[in-house]
Amino acid sequence: MNDQDVQREAIEPLSRPLTKCRMCKSEDLALYLDLGHTPPADQFRTKEELVLPEVSYPLQVVLCQSCGLSQLNHIVDPRVLYQHDYPYESSTTKTGKIHWDEFAQKVVRRLALPKNSLVVDIGSNVGTLLESFRAEDMRVVGIDPAQNIVDKANAAGVTTYCDFYCMAVAEKVADAHDHASVIVGTNVFAHIDDLEHVMECNARLLGPEGVFIFESPYFQNLVDHLEYDTIYHEHLSYLSLAPVAKFVLRFGFEVFAVEESDIHGGSFRVYIGRQGNHAIDASVTEMLQREEERKLHDLEGLTVFAKRVADNREQLITLIEGLRKEGKKIVGVSAPAKGMTLLNYCGLTTRELAFLTERSTLKIGRFSPGGYIPILPDDALVNEGADYALLLAWNFAPEIIKNTRAFQEKGGKYIIPVPVPKIV
Ligand SMILES: [Zn+2]
């Protein structure tokens, strides 16, 4: 084998095209949104790594014309996506804490859970949500695959198993702690390829009245607010209610309630129990009806959305090119994963942006995937100077603008890229 073969051998098994719908197994998949080929959004390289080859994967969304699920048509292996050498820790900000407390209280109240009921969290991280459930007198158990994070959770007294969610761990938890009253998964359901296995594990671990609740970004918000930059390889599915409701029936479960929340640009919380064991709340029929009216599972409606995405790119490129021709210096503020989708889709590199700034010390000193834009500390915005700051975490625009007053005082302006690029 020559070097190229060796490299190909190493790359190919780590990603594969989607051939069937993840939920209903239909092969009737229609491509409607093509964001090009991009490297994984979390692979910030060190200076030494810049000389190594970089692999890009298709970032394209298809509609299953049978059940209506929007999903990526290329699956990158978790070994590639989650190999970065810095750990993630769930947000312990005040807003985060309020959200999780409210989540736990609402669930305990809605399901009228008796004291000491067992709540299991999939992808529990350091145990922030479980601590909120514990404050409601629940017994709690976490499951998370990252050892360093699990050690932290256990040290804080939240019993946590180090594993991916699988049958072996579901059985281990059921044997040691009895059946679960609630299994929660926040921001994990859209990331998992084998959702059938998740439902089989749920069926094993949940008691007869047990409820599986997941919280994920709601696809309707992505479409309405043109949040196309939340599309990246970690997010395999773009969830709406109709496909999920149909999917869980196959496992003897049904959706009996749904709630919406503002977190992550608009999320929904879906309650799933064994068929016939829970009264179906009006929220379910209302949301299903709304999705139907909004053509959320309809190729025609989604093609209009894709056109708006392409228009956004044109407008943003025109705006930035215009400023560049006037000799203006443009930089990017913050380097979230979603910002990488926007930069790579719009083809923005060091030619357009001098640098990105970031608070996280784990990214500072590294380079953005694809465009290799250097990442500097937050204070570079003032110290290095710039005329325009492109806000990549535009959902936090008011907060960022408030926190960078020194930049404005020096005459700096901001570019908010989405839904319509504008200078403020
Ligand atoms: Zn389907």
pLDDT digits (tens, 9 = 90+) for 283-311: 999 999 999 999 999 999 999 999 999 99
**pLDDT-derived band at 82, boundaries 50, 70, 90:** confident
For 143-157, the pLDDT digits (tens) are 998 888 899 999 999
Residue 52 neighbours by CB distance under 10 Å: 8
- What's the 309 CA to ligand 1 centre distance in angstroms? 24
Q: DSSP class of residue 374?
A: B
Amino acid type, 396 = F
**Which of 3-7, 217-221, 333-337 is modeled with the greatest confidence?**
217-221
- The mean pLDDT of the chain is 92
Supply the pLDDT for residue 301: 94
Query: 23 C-alpha to center of ligand 1: Å?
Result: 5
Residue 58 CA to ligand 1 center (angstroms) comes to: 20
- Residue 283: what pLDDT? 98
Confidence label for 94 from pLDDT (cuts 50, 70 and 90): low
| Model confidence, pTM | 0.92
**Please, which residues bridge with residue 402 across strands?**
none
Helix axes 282-293, 241-249, angle to 10 degrees: 120
Tell me how far the alpha carbon of residue 125 lies from the centroid of ligand 1, in angstroms: 30
249 Cα to the center of ligand 1, angstroms: 13
Going from the Cα of 61 to the center of ligand 1, the distance in angstroms, rounded, reads: 13
Give the Cβ contact number of residue 98 at 10 Å.
Answer: 11
User: How many angstroms separate the alpha carbon of residue 89 from the centre of ligand 1?
Assistant: 33
Q: Is residue 181 over pLDDT 60?
A: yes
Q: What is the pLDDT of residue 80?
A: 83
Averaged over 117-126, what is the pLDDT? 95
**How many whole angstroms from 71 Cα to the centroid of ligand 1?**
9
The token duo for 383 is 């110290």
Q: Are 331 and 351 in contact (CB under 8 A)?
A: no
Could you tell me the distance, in angstroms and rounded to a whole number, from the CA of residue 265 to the centre of ligand 1? 25
Give distance in angstroms: CA of 70 to centre of ligand 1: 8
Distance from the first to the final alpha carbon of the chain:
56
29, 18 contact by CB (below 8 A): yes
β partners of residue 140? 119
Q: In angstroms, what is the span from residue 289 Cα to ligand 1's centroid?
A: 19
The share of the chain scoring above pLDDT 90, in percent, equals 83
Beta bridge partners of 417: none
CATH class of residue range 301-423: alpha beta
In angstroms, what is the span from residue 244 Cα to ligand 1's centroid?
9
pLDDT, tens digit, 9 for 90 and up, residues 51-75: 999 999 999 999 999 999 999 999 9
Q: How many A from CA of 67 to the centre of ligand 1?
A: 4
Q: Residues 417, 393: contact at Cβ < 8 Å?
A: no
* Mean pLDDT value across residues 333-345: 94
- Count the Cβ atoms, other than its own, within 10 Å of residue 133: 28
- pLDDT, average across residues 174-203: 96
Best CA proximity match to 14, nearest among 57, 59, 61: 57
Give dist(CA 403, CA 328) in Å, integer: 22
Distance in Å, CA 90 to ligand 1 centroid: 31
**Which of 267, 229, 238 lies closest to 100, judged by CA?**
267
CA–centroid distance, residue 65 to ligand 1 (Å): 7
Least confident of 88-92, 312-316, 388-392: 88-92
Q: What is the pLDDT of residue 324?
A: 96
- Nearest CA to 315 among 169, 406, 167, 422? 422
Q: Is the pLDDT of residue 86 over 80?
A: no
For residue 62, how far is its CA from the centre of ligand 1 (angstroms)? Answer: 10
Exposure of 155 by Cβ count < 10 A (0-12 exposed, 13-18 middle, 19+ buried)? exposed
Q: How far is the CA of 260 from the centre of ligand 1 (A)?
A: 23
Note the pLDDT tens digit of each residue in 210-250.
999 999 999 999 999 999 999 999 999 999 999 999 999 99
Q: Give the distance (Å) from ligand 1 centre to CA of residue 276.
A: 24
Using the Cα atoms of residue 73, residue 370, residue 80 and residue 41 in order, give the sign of their dihedral: negative
Span from the CA of 39 to the centroid of ligand 1 (angstroms):
27
State residue 13's pLDDT score: 67
Instruction: Please give the CATH number for the structural domain made up of 94-293.
Output: 3.40.50.150
- Cα-to-centroid distance, 27 and ligand 1 (Å): 8
Q: Give me ligand 1 centre to Cα 301, in Å.
A: 17
The residues facing 119 across adjacent strands are 140, 182
User: Does pLDDT of 1 surpass 50?
Assistant: no
3-state secondary structure of 386: coil
Kindly give the distance from the C-alpha atom of residue 86 to the centroid of ligand 1, in angstroms, as a whole number: 35
CB neighbours of residue 283 within 10 Å: 18
> At residue 139, what are phi and psi to the nearest 5 degrees?
-85, 140
Ligand 1 centroid, distance to 345 Cα (angstroms): 27
* φ/ψ (deg, to 5) at 34: -120, 110
CATH 3.40.50.150 residue spans of the chain: 94-293
In the block, tokens 């005459």 appear at 411
Domain with CATH 3.40.50.720 in the chain: 301-423
Q: How far is the CA of 102 from the centre of ligand 1 (A)?
A: 33
Q: How far apart are CA 172 and CA 195, in angstroms?
A: 20
Cis before 421 (ω within 30): no
R_g of the chain computed on alpha carbons:
22
Residue 5 pLDDT exceeds 70? no
423 pLDDT exceeds 90? yes
SS3 195: helix
Mean pLDDT for the stretch of residues 160-165 = 94
CA pair distance 336, 342, nearest whole angstrom: 10
Q: How far is the CA of 29 from the centre of ligand 1 (A)?
A: 8
User: What is the C-alpha to C-alpha distance for residues 192 and 235, in angstroms, rounded to an integer?
Assistant: 8
For tokens 């599915």, name the residue: 237
Over 80: is that where the pLDDT of 91 sits? no
Q: Cα of 54 to ligand 1 centre, how many Å?
A: 32
Residue 395, pLDDT above cutoff 50? yes
Question: How many other β-carbons are positioned within 10 Å of the β-carbon of residue 124?
Answer: 27
User: How far apart are the CA of 68 and the centre of ligand 1, in A?
Assistant: 6
**In the Cβ-directed half-sphere of 223, how many Cα atoms lie within 13 Å?**
23
Name the nearest CA neighbour of 316 among 277, 351, 345, 280. 345
Is 244 strand, coil or helix? Answer: helix
How far from the centroid of its chain's Cα atoms is residue 130's Cα?
Answer: 20
